[in-house]
Amino acid sequence: MNKGAFITFEGIDGCGKSTQIAMLEEYLVSSGKTVIKVREPGGTVVGEKIREILLSKKNDSMTPMAELLLFVAARAQITEEVIKPALSEGKTVICDRFFDSTFAYQGYARGMGTDKVMDINLAATGGLEPDITFVLDISPEKAFERRAVRDGGQQDRMEALGLEFQRKVREGYILASQKYPRIKVIDASGTPDEIASVIRDLTMKIGEA
Ligand code: TMP
């Protein structure tokens, strides 16, 4: 990996993304890269407002199409305001979720159609795609246990959709990985160090193929 890269992390809720993002960031910074870390939905003033709307349990009347368009709206904003400028300055961008979340959650698990969702996604990002995407793959049961420890049983609007929904999201990610070679499915049941080492090795190979 020579220049700045666009790296995204994906997975069902509670898959361990935050730990792995922090570990990869530390590694890249210690090897001299300038790294910026952002999350979706959010990462901009507009995006954080959209995040509040999307995750508040008060908004349980939101239609699937409104949900889809709000996630994509937040993405359009962060792509233009933060991600593209950083990449053009040669920085590495690590994004906690990006458009494969919309593929798996709205396109597949909500049943809105993965092709339709990807068309809208690409319109929102002006064709920008990650260089590499890590899907941290874990069983919904194990992820649920992790979230219970982390959040003390508190759930946002998306997490409250339950285990069956998370199972579908997991399937959605596997489907995405079969369509897009940039997506690497990582077994997230190992120790944080084991997982981090696999992710580091794959990251260092970006641009080699
Ligand atoms: P987070 O808790 O990882 O920040 O993600 C917020 C929630 O929003 C999580 O349940 C996944 C969901 N989500 C979607 O359903 N579609 C999307 O496009 C994104 C980015 C997140």
The CATH homologous superfamily to which domain 6-203 belongs is: P-loop containing nucleotide triphosphate hydrolases (3.40.50.300)
Residue 158 in contact with ligand 1 by CB distance below 6 A? yes
Residue 159 in contact with ligand 1 by CB distance below 6 A? yes
* Domain chopping of the chain, boundaries: 6-203
Residue 102 in contact with ligand 1 by CB distance below 6 A? yes
The minimum-distance atom of ligand 1 relative to the CA of 96 is: 3
- What pLDDT, in 10s, does the model give residues 172-198? 999 999 999 999 999 999 999 999 999
The minimum-distance atom of ligand 1 relative to the CA of 158 is: 10
Q: What is the pLDDT of residue 174?
A: 98
- What the block records as the tokens of 101 is 């979340």
Q: What is the DSSP-derived secondary structure letter of residue 115? A: H
Handedness of CA 169, 174, 179, 184 (dihedral sign): positive
Residue 203: phi and psi, rounded to 5, are -65, -40
Q: What is the pLDDT of residue 209?
A: 58
Q: pLDDT-derived band of residue 2, with 50, 70 and 90 as boundaries?
A: low
Residue 105 in contact with ligand 1 by CB distance below 6 A? yes
The residue whose CA is least distant from atom 7 of ligand 1 is 158
Mutate to test the pocket of ligand 1, among 63, 68, 75, 97 (most ligand atoms within 8 A of CB): 97
Using alpha carbons, select from 19, 12, 39 the residue that is nearest to residue 93: 39
Q: What is the DSSP-derived secondary structure letter of residue 129? A: -
Q: What is the DSSP-derived secondary structure letter of residue 104? A: I
Model pTM score: 0.96
- What pLDDT, in 10s, does the model give residues 100-128? 999 999 999 999 999 999 999 999 999 99
- Give me the chain's average pLDDT, please: 95
- Could you write out the DSSP letters of every residue in 4-63? --EEEEE-STTSSHHHHHHHHHHHHHHTT--EEEEESS-SSHHHHHHHHHHH-GGGTT--
The minimum-distance atom of ligand 1 relative to the CA of 39 is: 4
- Distances in Å between the Cα of 72 and the Cα atoms of 46, 54, 75, 142 are 12, 11, 5, 29
User: For residues 38 and 82, is the Cβ–Cβ distance under 8 A?
Assistant: yes
The minimum-distance atom of ligand 1 relative to the CA of 98 is: 20
Return d(Cα 158, Cα 167) in angstroms, integer: 13
Q: What is the mean pLDDT of residues 68-91?
A: 97
The residue whose CA is least distant from atom 3 of ligand 1 is 13
Residue 110 in contact with ligand 1 by CB distance below 6 A? no
The torsion angle over the Cα atoms of residues 175, 176, 181 and 184, rounded to 10 degrees, is -90
Return d(Cα 25, Cα 22) in angstroms, integer: 5
Q: What is the DSSP-derived secondary structure letter of residue 110? A: S
Residue 67 in contact with ligand 1 by CB distance below 6 A? no
Return d(Cα 72, Cα 75) in angstroms, integer: 5
Please give the sequence-ordered ranges of beta strands (E in DSSP) within 11-84, or none if there are none: 35-39
